[in-house]
């Protein structure tokens, strides 16, 4: 063999030996060796990465928890939990006890300004969170209600067209149109016009099309060699799509920043720019970056919950009947439906939403945190060594019979008064584990806005329409892939204008 060939063969051989040694170490000597889980997953990242790239990671995680119970070592450096106490310990801690976001996942691209979700260090995060606070206050929400209504009016008007023609409406798309238009208006100062044009704006379309690429970014961070090759292997269409999206958001946000507070519409920027002061010290670049994050964080998630609740109501005729009757009895006329009335008069609708969060949480997996290096962290009753990736897996926790009776069935009654009566089937349900907006200092800043949107959209839908899932969508929820967020297929629904009694 030529010397070069010999050198390459030796290097490859050494690499294999190293990998085998590394796997043996991971299984038998690693500080996480005592946690239950499959040996192959403990040995190497390859299996978790494989499932992640195929969109099956969450399906597999649910299987692992079903097999191993409340805690599972699902990768060499990662442990997943499904208990309520673990949720508090992983996400709900402040200050020196907090478990930081895992920098393997939460990262800015080189040279990019921090944004509220990816900011790992507490100072950057709390600066950005303070800057956003006024835009998410109760006062702001009251002012935003009018904008929410504008988009729901348009949604209902468009859907009446479907009811009149008898054509199937893909409610996943229509809910997305509504929530993206609204958040576009509030975060970019300009709606995407999806409802008006009956289609996704290219910015929104690109976000959805690139969802399956998200796990590739995670894998690339572990294998920088692949990352280096990215510019050469990335399809031209993806490069162009990404450039167009950046151009659109930069020009829209520049225009919005220029208008400053000199506009009547009180969108997020109006509040942020008015409250911007020496203490917040947020740069325009950080604001622009955070605005893009708001679009993603605030739209798809809300539309997902709306889709999930609609699906489960259509599949559960008793609940659909009860909630429809509640909505139609609570108001004399449609224009009485506002946030305050919907909050006070529609308790069963709220139970339907909360059970929707359990059955179809918009963030289906575990949000990764990493224990501090050199420090053992108590998570529930488990001692977790430093530098471990930890998370609570939402769907594995919410669909587990360890936490819920008849866990795979939709029962809003779990959230109704009397749920804890001695003869109630739901009395042992472990509802404290349900935290779809997460907990603690990094929880969702848009929770109240999301609840307002969800209540109003669903109340208006039930006020106006009878809904029936078409046969092709009866199994909509089963086997769905997820790439951090659900990859939601079309959900075809037949809408009929309600018959006035
Ligand atoms: C049903 C709807 C929603 C769900 C289930 C949801 C869920 C979440 C979750 C789980 C987090 C924590 C993320 C993490 O730890 O990495 C989060 C953070 C966040 N969400 Fe939401 N969200 C929803 C709606 C919204 C809305 C309407 C907005 C605003 C327009 C919003 C803006 C944000 C922001 C800015 C953060 C980052 C907060 C921080 O790091 O301080 N979300 N959301």
Residues 347-356: tens digit of each pLDDT: 999 999 999 9
Indicate whether 363 and 490 sit together in one domain: yes
Which range marks the domain in which residue 305 is found?
40-497
9 and 138 in a single domain? The answer is no
The tokens describing 213, both together, are 């690429």
Backbone angles phi, psi at 259, to 5 degrees: -70, -25
CATH of the domain at 359: 1.10.630.10
Tokens of 102: 């895992």
pLDDT for the residue numbered 446:
96
Are residue 247 and residue 323 in the same domain, yes or no? yes
- Domain assignment present for residue 428? The answer is yes
**What pLDDT is attached to residue 261?**
87
> Residues 92, 162: one domain?
yes
Q: How many domains does the chain have?
A: 2
Give residue for tokens 């997820």.
482
Angle between helices 347-359 and 447-464 (to 10 degrees): 110
442: Cβ below 6 Å to ligand 1? yes
Asked if residue 279 has pLDDT above 80, the reply is no
Element (H, E) at 149: helix 138-165
Residues 262 and 230 in one domain: yes
Domain co-membership, 17 together with 96: no
Q: How far is the CA of 11 from the centre of ligand 1 (A)?
A: 46
One domain, residues 79 and 14: no
Examine the domain organization and report whether 235 and 334 are in the same domain: yes
What is the structure's pLDDT at 110?
58
CA 135 to CA 7: how far, in whole Å? 61
Q: Using one digit for the tens of pLDDT, what is the confidence trace for 174-194? A: 999 999 999 999 998 889 999
Residues 12, 92: one domain? no
CA distance linking residue 197 with residue 37, whole number of Å: 50
User: Binning pLDDT at 50, 70 and 90, where does residue 439 land?
Assistant: very high
Q: Do 22 and 65 share a structural domain?
A: no
* Average confidence score pLDDT of the chain: 92
Give CA torsion, residues 193, 196, 199, 200, to 10 deg.
Answer: 20
314 annotated ligand-binding residue: no
> Are 333 and 349 a contacting pair, CB within 8 Å?
no
Distances (CA, A) of 384 to 79, 89, 391, 471: 9, 11, 12, 47
239 and 182 in a common domain: yes
494 C-alpha to ligand 1 centroid (Å): 31
| C-alpha to C-alpha distance for 464 and 449, rounded to whole angstroms | 23
Does any ligand 1 atom lie closer than 6 A to the CB of residue 438? yes
The rounded Å distance from CA 256 to ligand 1 centre is: 23
485 belongs to a structural domain: yes
Residue 35 is assigned to a structural domain of this protein:
no
Mutate to test the pocket of ligand 1, among 101, 444, 458, 488 (most ligand atoms within 8 A of CB): 444
My answer on whether 17 and 157 are in the same domain is no
Q: pLDDT (tens digit, 9 = 90+) per residue, 388-417?
A: 999 999 999 999 999 999 999 999 999 999
Q: pLDDT for 225-278, tens place per residue?
A: 777 777 777 667 777 777 788 888 888 888 998 988 888 889 998 998 887 766
């Amino acid at each position: 063999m030529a010397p070069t060939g010999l050198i390459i063969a030796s290097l490859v051989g050494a690499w294999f030996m190293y990998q085998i040694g590394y796997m043996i170490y991971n299984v038998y000597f690693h500080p996480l060796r005592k946690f239950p889980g499959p040996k192959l997953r403990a040995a190497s990242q390859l299996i978790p990465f494989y499932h992640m790239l195929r969109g099956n990671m969450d399906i597999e995680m649910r299987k692992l928890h079903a097999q191993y119970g409340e805690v599972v070592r699902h990768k060499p450096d990662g442990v997943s939990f499904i208990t309520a106490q673990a949720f508090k310990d992983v996400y709900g801690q402040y200050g020196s006890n907090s478990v930081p976001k895992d920098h393997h996942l939460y990262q800015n691209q080189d040279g990019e300004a921090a944004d509220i979700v990816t900011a790992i260090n507490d100072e950057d995060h709390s600066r950005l969170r303070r800057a956003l606070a006024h835009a998410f206050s109760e006062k702001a929400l009251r002012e935003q209600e009018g904008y929410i209504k504008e988009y729901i009016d348009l949604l209902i008007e468009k859907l009446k067209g479907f009811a009149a023609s008898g054509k199937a409406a893909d409610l996943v798309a229509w809910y997305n149109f509504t929530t993206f238009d609204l958040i576009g208006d509030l975060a970019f100062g300009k709606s995407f016009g999806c409802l008006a044009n009956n289609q996704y704006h290219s910015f929104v379309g690109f976000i959805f099309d690139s969802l399956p690429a998200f796990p590739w970014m995670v894998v690339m961070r572990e294998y920088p060699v692949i990352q280096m090759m990215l510019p050469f292997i990335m399809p031209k269409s993806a490069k162009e799509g990404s450039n167009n999206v950046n151009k659109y958001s930069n020009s829209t946000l520049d225009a919005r920043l220029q208008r400053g507070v000199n506009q009547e519409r009180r969108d997020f920027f109006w509040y942020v720019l008015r409250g911007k002061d020496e203490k917040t010290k947020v740069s325009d670049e950080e604001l622009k970056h955070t605005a893009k994050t708001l679009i993603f964080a605030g739209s798809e998630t809300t539309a997902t919950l709306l889709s999930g609740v609609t699906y489960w109501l259509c599949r559960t005729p008793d609940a659909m009947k009860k909630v429809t009757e509640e909505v139609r009895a609570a108001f004399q006329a449609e224009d009485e439906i506002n946030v305050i009335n919907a909050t006070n008069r529609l308790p069963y609708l709220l139970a339907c939403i909360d059970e929707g969060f359990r059955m179809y949480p918009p963030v289906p997996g575990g949000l990764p945190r990493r224990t501090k290096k050199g420090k053992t962290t108590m998570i529930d009753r488990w001692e977790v060594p430093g530098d471990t990736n930890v998370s609570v897996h939402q769907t594995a926790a919410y669909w587990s019979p360890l936490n819920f009776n008849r866990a795979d069935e939709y029962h809003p009654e779990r959230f109704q008064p009397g749920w804890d009566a001695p003869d109630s089937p739901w009395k042992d349900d472990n509802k404290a584990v349900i935290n779809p907006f997460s907990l603690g200092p990094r929880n969702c800043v848009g929770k109240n806005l999301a609840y307002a949107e969800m209540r109003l959209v669903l109340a208006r839908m039930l006020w106006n329409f009878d809904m029936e899932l078409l046969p092709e969508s009866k199994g909509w929820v089963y086997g769905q892939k997820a790439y951090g967020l659900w990859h939601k297929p079309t959900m075809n629904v037949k809408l009929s204008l309600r018959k006035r009694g």
